Structure 1
């Protein structure tokens, strides 16, 4: 495995683990179920009704690719028992309906073994399982959310074949989760989704400002969870700046965001200016057109290096410098060697 593949795998693993850490907190998970999902089963749900199931239902083939959470839920004094299966995805996975089926079968199997059902018992019941997928990749999630769509010629078999649906939250592409809609919600999951969408560093700081100024109903525990998520997923010093803004007095927030945004913008403009000047100088020697082109390319490389040194992630750097992701990764590897 080359360094680039190892690097990509580590990034996805860290991100999935960060979501797992976040939604292992019952209060944060409840916020997702009640305020984002809005499903009927979540209306009467309380944090104390949720029990985190520590078992993982991931086969060896998928062990390093998934970070799943399973909650057992009791509603109305245990009259209703069901399981909630949360999956976190950084890339589109067209086997997801099949993978979810495997996990659901494992949950039911374990429940049945412990329940010790008798074949003559007419009241045998199993708990419902609600599968939910959180996806934060750039490509639109276009995987069918019905299991039957995985079956050859499924339309021939009507209701005689196995089927279930899963909920998908496509953080970056779902119009129902756009910036304005999330700001209106003002809850912890909306804050995380706001920060996990694709944007440049300046927009990231603007969204931190919005959270700091207007998400007033967040508890101390939820603020702590957001800061931990930022620390785990955003490279310093941008993460450090964001956390300081969240901790600051509201009167200081505007100034802190403006100061940090100015530094980022100035860094970008200086790199562009240096590139233009160098291009002009080269143009005098080898021809104005060729020199200007070379200067622009050097400018982009300088922007990439400065952005890496300032802790920006690869997606943001691509947008700032207008270069390919492969080039950013190549330069990052060079920087890490030096």
Structure 2
């Protein structure tokens, strides 16, 4: 087993079911909220992944996190993931970033986004937080998706509403969202990774090809977040690595000293040292797995040979159809037949599972 094969073996496949090598999504969601509660992450998200002209006119020194908890007119609580506002152009026009973190495809995400934006606008109306012209500020809804399966849900709520000809289609709602599918972005051969972009490094860590790719991405984060003012963001990455990333990517690795690590460069150094020792563990695990498989195969073959001799003694020559069934049966089925052979009057009755008939 090679290093790349082992690393890929540790990463859940697109067909993963809940409870396998996955991890609690509440931990993932909370850790992402912690990361994107830092202005640097929002800055790099917009400048690196929103390729639109209006982003060039944003005043990133004005970035301000907004409470995502408010009460609707029906007195129902709603707490969004992360909402920011930022000055745009010369006027105090705010752009609200509504980040909705997803790890599984939601077919009706566009409907959820429409509801969130509506609740946000209701709250802004109550606060009288309007533009200088008395209008509502623009909203950029962002769906940040990091699941294994590629995103395929409708990007606009209009696509989810049945069209009725004759005029009713004019009242169909239309609201889209910006989708950032991490896996699709990082694995796109045409993707040009933005320079010194922390969010791009996060995406790379989430979708690394092997352990060296992971170390490279983590090393860049260490280099880019050296400044004292980035201490809080460095700690947020440490929390994410400890609670989410490592349990997901290397669930069988023992890293007890990780609990004592507080700085990102310490995590990078520790992982680099550990990775040097992983090939020996891979060889050992491969050997143990091979021994277990060999024992199981030996048990199955021995049971098959014993049952074949018993069948010949009791029923005579084994016909082709019966031999095919014996060859295809597993250990458990072979043992069941061996126990039933004393009661089965015919070979057909034995292999059909109806002894005594």
1:263 offset after TM fit, Å? 2.6
Larger Rg: 2
- Partner residue of 1:305? none
The reply on whether 1:273 has 2:287 as its aligned counterpart is yes
For residues 138 and 7 of structure 1, do their structure 2 counterparts lie closer, same or farther at Cα, with a shift above 3 Å needed? closer
1:247 offset after TM fit, Å? 1.4
Q: Is the 8 A contact 1:68 1:88 kept in 2?
A: yes
- Partner residue of 1:247? 265
Q: How many residue pairs were aligned?
A: 274
Within a 5 Å distance, the mapping from 1:1-338 to structure 2 comes to: 11-56=24-69, 68-115=81-128, 123-153=133-163, 160-174=171-185, 181-182=192-193, 185-197=195-207, 203-204=210-211, 206-212=213-219, 216-220=223-227, 221=230, 222-234=233-245, 235=247, 237=255, 240=258, 246-247=264-265, 257=272, 259-280=273-294, 287=301
1:108 offset after TM fit, Å? 1.0
- What CA distance in whole angstroms lies between the structure 2 residues aligned with 1:260 and 1:208? 11
Q: Deviations over 1:51-91 (max 9, x none)?
A: 1111236999x989x86111122224543222111110011
Q: Is the 8 A contact 2:145 2:180 kept in 1?
A: yes
- Higher RCO (C-alpha 8 Å, min separation 6): 2
1:12 offset after TM fit, Å? 0.9
**SS class of match (2:203):** helix
- What CA distance in whole angstroms lies between the structure 2 residues aligned with 1:154 and 1:176? 39
Q: Is the 8 A contact 1:72 1:83 kept in 2?
A: yes
5+ residue gaps, structure 2: 1-16, 248-253, 305-357
- What CA distance in whole angstroms lies between the structure 1 residues aligned with 2:94 and 2:33? 23
- What CA distance in whole angstroms lies between the structure 2 residues aligned with 1:75 and 1:180? 28
1:214 offset after TM fit, Å? 8.3
Bigger Cα displacement from structure 2, 152-161 vs 217-226: 152-161
For residues 239 and 41 of structure 1, do their structure 2 counterparts lie closer, same or farther at Cα, with a shift above 3 Å needed? farther
**SS class of match (2:149):** coil
Q: Deviations over 1:221-254 (max 9, x none)?
A: 154443232123133629939x7995169xx96x
Bigger Cα displacement from structure 2, 100-109 vs 226-235: 226-235
- Partner residue of 1:316? none
- Partner residue of 1:322? none
**SS class of match (1:85):** strand
- What CA distance in whole angstroms lies between the structure 1 residues aligned with 2:292 and 2:21? 34
1:208 offset after TM fit, Å? 2.2
**SS class of match (2:205):** helix
TM-score normalised over the length of structure 2: 0.62
Q: Deviations over 1:188-233 (max 9, x none)?
A: 101111111265xxx2454223441687444431544432321231
5+ residue gaps, structure 1: 291-338
**SS class of match (2:94):** strand
Higher share of residues assigned helix: 1
TM-score normalised over the length of structure 1: 0.65
**SS class of match (2:143):** strand
- What CA distance in whole angstroms lies between the structure 1 residues aligned with 2:71 and 2:106? 15
